[in-house]
Chains A and B, each alone.
Chain A
Amino acid sequence: MTVRQLHLAATPPGAGRPDAGADDPAGLGPDAVWAGTRAGSRIAFAAYERLAGTAERGLFDFLLLDEEPPLPEHRGRPHEPAPAGGPEPVAVLNALAGVTTRLGLAATVNAACAQPYELARGLATLDHLSAGRAGWRVAASADPRTGADHRFAGHPDPYGRAAELVLAARRLWDSVTPEGVPRPFAHRGRHFDIAGEFGLPRSPQGHPVVIRSGDSERAREPAAAWADVLLVRHAPPEQARARYTDVKRRLAAYGRAPGDLKVMSRITVVLGDTEAEARERAAGIRRLLITPRHALCAVERIWGTDLSGHDPDGPLPRTEPRARDRRTRALAARWRALAEDKGLSLRETVIEASGRQSFVGTPGTVAAELHRYAEEGAADGFLLAPQLPDGLEEFVDRVVPLLQERSAFRTEYGGGTLRSHLGVPGGTTDDDG
């Protein structure tokens, strides 16, 4: 029996949270350490060049770049502790196509303001310029503030719009014959009413790879219907297995095979020479992430109170949160219980409550655990979100070789297209897969 091979993808430090916002009323935001000498600017192209080069050296399936959300605000001002600002992802990926040769290049697209024609054209361009390496993550839920910056946004049915956007884009791509002859297309749906001729020949992949993210029913069913990759939150093995089984089971209804949709979970990894050292590093990273100012902002968000002057090393506020919604109140109650149980200060509580790293250990134990997820049918692969500026390098240098030793990861790229890396069937014949 052949060993199940993993798929690996990377995002820039702090990006690619499949569920950002959804379970994060505290707006904990930073998920990567931005301080320190090795942490470069988030906007300079050199940082992306380096990241893509490392991912390609590690033979990763793809790099995923998120669209920048509107600048985070806190009490009506820019939220100063959170890293913010970044480039437009598709433009950067076009440039990265020139400095990489095999790595898949995927961008998050906000379905709330994307238009099918412009989107399909932009992605087909990327697919042509990269010789078949384009992918896109369809983000259905938009920050409501996006509407304030766009002519056409703020639609009442973001999930329906996202699904129709995928359908319309594929209709555009399919309107060109394999010989490259454009045929008139027309699409009329609830969200779009468009017609004409598509202006590009069929791109190398036919359809750039579609990525959907989320754990909920609203993500699973559409993913089963039309996505090539489903990005999910990291979960313990048993829960991940149940989820994996549930997602794969849905594919048959759409005439698809279980392998046609890859389930990849977003993970953070902390390595050490010993287990103890790794645990210590992991705790150190969490302390770096949650600065005193950050901890105060997080609590202010949940409590809805001005805490300037409050001591982050003192206790949580004695008052009850002003927020009315059940989720926020429940979260506040959990935090209070945690603080009282363990006798934690405000900042310690935030550090304790904020996300734990997914895999903490030596390269050997981490490789074994990752492999086990694939072997046991809990995930097809992982999206690595580095927390430290060198996080991806470290993973590529120390974990990837061990995965290869286990035959759990490729030792060279088999094909040239992202579809061939992922082993998902394409809208066109892939002669190098």
Chain B
Amino acid sequence: MRGLVHLAAALDLPGVFDAGAFTALARLAERGGLDFVTLDDSFARPGPDALGVLCRVAPATRRIGLVPTVTTTHTEPFRVQAAVATLDWVGRGRAGWRIDVSVTEDEARLFGRRPTAPADALWREADEVADVAARLWDSWEDGAEIRDVADGRFLDGDRVHRVDFTGTGFSVRGPSTVPRPPQGHPVRVVDATDAHACAVAARHADVALVRAASPAQAAGVRDRLREQARAFGRNPDTLRVLVSLLVDLGDGEHAAEPGHGGGGPRPTVHGPLYRGGPVDLAELVASWHAEGVTDGFHFVPVEPRRDLERLVNGTVALLQHRGLFRTFYPGSTLREHLGLARPANRYAVSGAPAVSRRAS
């Protein structure tokens, strides 16, 4: 028998900069028991800092995973990992990080440090940033802060490690300034639509987002990603593949338009789009899930304020009723929602030399 389906939703609200709207939507998604919400970010578009917004949302929510996009091209890897780790501390184990790159010349001009580079080079760098982030999260072993009063030691120096990472474009000595986050490694999410991003997803991601307009397409993408993950020495069952779907539930309970319902969403330039009612969407989710072609869905509502409410009260409620989706959160961390184990620390044998850089 298959496990429960995993569901996530995007909170993207163009033109919104105050906290209230984001908080309200995240709480709505949490009421529906969703695994996580995403908030996209790019220096190329107007909008607030996504990680900042989800930090603001964290104390107003209790269980839902919080996954901001943080780019790797013009940012400092050391600071990115510290910020993501802090989101995990602030959210008590609910942080994720959607890894992305900055491809445009306009973004490069905002920073004025380096010209733009081809996407494959940027994704190779993102791969290294994802790698070094996990090393820095491990650079403090759990419980390195010992507070041994009798001995006057705050830290156990044997349980704090340098990472001594040398990448193609940057190097990091470590250790991190932030103790190991509650989840060990916050959940790394990669949109594997771009061919260059696939390797990063297969190697480092806990969750890969893919585009598919039919069950066959979804199965194909998922199989390829799992195969790549295996080639990198991973157990493919540690990778969740979610189909990212634009959803437009604006027509209320009307049946899905031809080509949107059971037959699958319609391809558009922005990705596959489902347009129809929440009931038919639940049907789509249930049938794709039953076929075993995906681990779940990442919904991107075209009108979040309207569509998220319909998703939660319509689609999710139906899936819960059919026993396909959780009715409460049995766990408290995002890893627990996703059924992913808390990773072991690569430095955990105190005093042992660090494992070689490419091993995972």
Q: Which residues of A are interface residues toward B (Cβ below 8 A)?
A: 30, 34-36, 39, 41-45, 49, 67-71, 77-88, 90-92, 94-95, 97-99, 113, 115, 117-118, 121-122, 124-126, 128-129, 131, 145, 148-152, 182, 192-196, 199-201, 291-294
Contacts and interface: CB of A to CB of B under 8 A. Distances in A.
A85 B178 contact: yes
A87 B179 CA distance: 8
B42 to A, nearest CB: 9
B110 A122 contact: no
Nearest to A73: B157
Contacts of B113: 115, 152
Identify which of B76, B85, B112, B149 gathers the most chain A CB atoms within 10 Å of its CB: B112
B89 A44 contact: yes
A68 B85 CA distance: 13
Given A95-B90, A122-B52, 11 more contacts: A35-B149, A69-B177, A81-B152, A83-B154, A85-B176, A85-B179, A92-B55, A117-B111, A129-B18, A195-B109, A200-B47
20 contacts: A35-B149, A39-B147, A43-B179, A81-B154, A85-B140, A86-B178, A87-B89, A90-B52, A91-B87, A95-B90, A98-B56, A113-B79, A125-B52, A129-B48, A151-B170, A152-B113, A195-B110, A196-B110, A199-B45, A292-B152
Given A91-B52, A150-B76, A199 B177 contact: no
Contact of B174 (A149, A291, A292): A149
Contacts of A200: 17, 46-48
Nearest to B48: A125
Contacts of B160: 71, 78
A194 B111 contact: yes
Given A87-B178, A194-B110, A98 B59 contact: yes
A129 B170 contact: no
A182 B110 CA distance: 14
Given A44-B89, A126-B52, A85 B177 contact: yes
A95 B45 contact: no
Contacts of A199: 43, 45-47
A152 B170 CA distance: 9
B157 A98 contact: no
A125 B49 CA distance: 6
Identify which of B51, B56, B79, B109 gathers the most chain A CB atoms within 10 Å of its CB: B56
Interface in B219-245: none
Interface in B144-181: 144-145, 147, 149, 151-157, 160, 169-179
Contacts of A91: 51-52, 55, 83, 86-87, 90
Q: Is the interface of A mostly helix, strand, loop or mixed?
A: loop
Interface residues of B, number: 63
A196 B86 contact: no
Nearest to B156: A80
B217 interface: no
Given A34-B147, A113-B79, A115-B111, A129 B56 contact: yes
Interface in B80-98: 82-83, 85-87, 89-90, 92
B60 interface: yes
A151 B112 CA distance: 14
A81 B157 CA distance: 10
B58 A95 contact: yes
Contact of A150 (B19, B78, B112, B169): B78
Contacts of B19: 97-98, 128-129
Contacts of A79: 155, 157
Interface of B: 17-19, 23, 43, 45-49, 51-53, 55-60, 74-79, 82-83, 85-87, 89-90, 92, 106, 109-113, 140, 144-145, 147, 149, 151-157, 160, 169-179
Contact of B17 (A113, A117, A201): A201
Nearest to A99: B59
B76 A88 contact: no
A95 to B, nearest CB: 4
A104 B177 CA distance: 24
Nearest to A199: B46
Contact of B112 (A84, A99, A192): A192
Contacts of B74: 115, 118
B56 A97 contact: yes
A35 B147 contact: yes
Given A35-B149, A85-B178, A87-B86, A149 B109 contact: no
A172 to B, nearest CB: 9
A49 B83 CA distance: 18
A30 B149 CA distance: 14
A194 B152 CA distance: 48
A371 to B, nearest CB: 36
Given A85-B177, A87-B86, A95 B75 contact: no
Contacts of A194: 109-112
B17 A128 contact: yes
B178 A43 contact: yes
A230 to B, nearest CB: 26
Nearest to A97: B56
A313 to B, nearest CB: 14
Q: Which 6 A/B pairs are nearest by Cβ-Cβ distance? A: A291-B152, A68-B177, A94-B55, A148-B173, A293-B152, A78-B157
A99 B57 CA distance: 10
B330 to A, nearest CB: 23
B95 to A, nearest CB: 10
A122 B51 CA distance: 9
B267 to A, nearest CB: 30
Given A88-B178, A118-B75, A199-B43, A78 B173 contact: no
Contacts of B75: 118
B154 A34 contact: yes
Contacts of B57: 98
B39 to A, nearest CB: 12
Contacts of B60: 98
Contacts of A78: 155, 157, 160, 175
Identify which of B19, B92, B174 gathers the most chain A CB atoms within 10 Å of its CB: B19
